[in-house]
Structure 1
Amino acid sequence: MDYVPEKNVIQMTSRVFTDDLELAFEKKYDKKFYLGTSREIPEAKKYLKIYFAEKIKVKVNGDLQPIKYLGKEIEDDVLVCYYTIPVPSGIQTLDIKNTTLFDMYAEQQNMIHTNINDTKKSLLLTVEEPEGLLEY
């Protein structure tokens, strides 16, 4: 997550192993998606938006902000998704909840790296602790 003050947004990138996400989608939506292949289903973008909107929540200065899904690409066996989060003013706190793949893997860990106000901080989120607060 990188804060771009000139645009009043946080640019966010997520990286998920494609096969893990495929399994999660198949379990949740009862269909195959073939992400990043020539067989990818036409409505994959819609489901990616829905899934990540459910799984990732970001509060800036205590206020929940909408996450705008921009698109995706495949790098080897990893699905890389791009998002923006509006930031109405400067950032003092970021409260991040990320439960991606937690319903699939009890040992799942989600790393969050931030670069806000030229300060780099990280969080490790787990099934037991899916949310963390960073102060800047």
Structure 2
Amino acid sequence: MKIKYIIGILLLCWIVCSSFTPHKYYVAVTQMDLVPQKKRVEITSRIFIDDFEKALTKKFKQKPNITTSNELPEAEEWIKQYITEKIKVSINNKLQRIEYLAKEIDGDVIIIYTKIAISKKINTFEIYNSLLTETFQEQQNIVHTNINGNKKSFLMTNTKFNEKIDY
């Protein structure tokens, strides 16, 4: 009985102590899909709101409050500017213009919708993604692509921002 009591206390102590250890993951996920019938690449980025707000606050020197009724009027423009600086796409070796469409809140995640209009067949697709890397050293950006029916996934970090796919 005494052994079970001691093991129980040690297990409880381990659980309590491990819950105080800071262990935060910094991850954003971006999906890029070619939609031929709409003649565009649709891009959806999912970013934790608190991390995204820290990056926007660092860049623009003011907290945007994007999840509250106190959202700053310029917050939407800041989001557009930040996303187009941090995500870049070249198609057939030509840098493309990314058009911001909308944002949506899903729990503790902000979902940002953008697109690239296309008119030619995609032979090469190059991705640059540095979301939040200026704010978090440990930031990882997962990028999933579905271009020309080929699905690929990449991990981008603060030392690896680019990937190029040849079709």
Q: How high is the TM-score relative to the length of structure 2?
A: 0.79
Identical-residue share of aligned pairs (%): 46
Shift in Å at residue 81 of structure 1? 0.4
Which structure dedicates a bigger proportion of its chain to strand?
1
Shift in Å at residue 39 of structure 1? 1.3
CA distance in 1, matches of 2:123, 2:68: 41
Is the aligned partner of 1:13 residue 2:50? no
Is the aligned partner of 1:100 residue 2:131? yes
Shift in Å at residue 88 of structure 1? 2.0
Larger Rg: 2
1:131 equivalent in structure 2: 162
Is the aligned partner of 1:54 residue 2:85? yes
Superposed CA offset, 1:67-111 (max 9, x none): 000010001100000011112211121110011101011111111
CA distance in 1, matches of 2:88, 2:163: 11
Letter in 1 for 2:42: Q
Q: How high is the TM-score relative to the length of structure 1?
A: 0.96
* Secondary structure at the counterpart of residue 38 of structure 2: coil
Return 5+ residue gaps in structure 1 as ranges. Answer: none
Return 5+ residue gaps in structure 2 as ranges. Answer: 1-31
Letter in 1 for 2:54: L
Contact 1:36 1:73 in 2 (8 A): no
CA distance in 2, matches of 1:16, 1:26: 15
CA distance in 2, matches of 1:7, 1:57: 20
Contact 1:5 1:90 in 2 (8 A): no
Letter in 2 for 1:60: I
Equivalenced residue count is 136
Is the aligned partner of 1:44 residue 2:75? yes
Which structure dedicates a bigger proportion of its chain to helix?
2
CA distance in 2, matches of 1:127, 1:32: 23
Instruction: Please report the RMSD computed on the Cα atoms of aligned residues, expressed in angstroms.
Output: 0.9
CA distance in 2, matches of 1:20, 1:11: 23
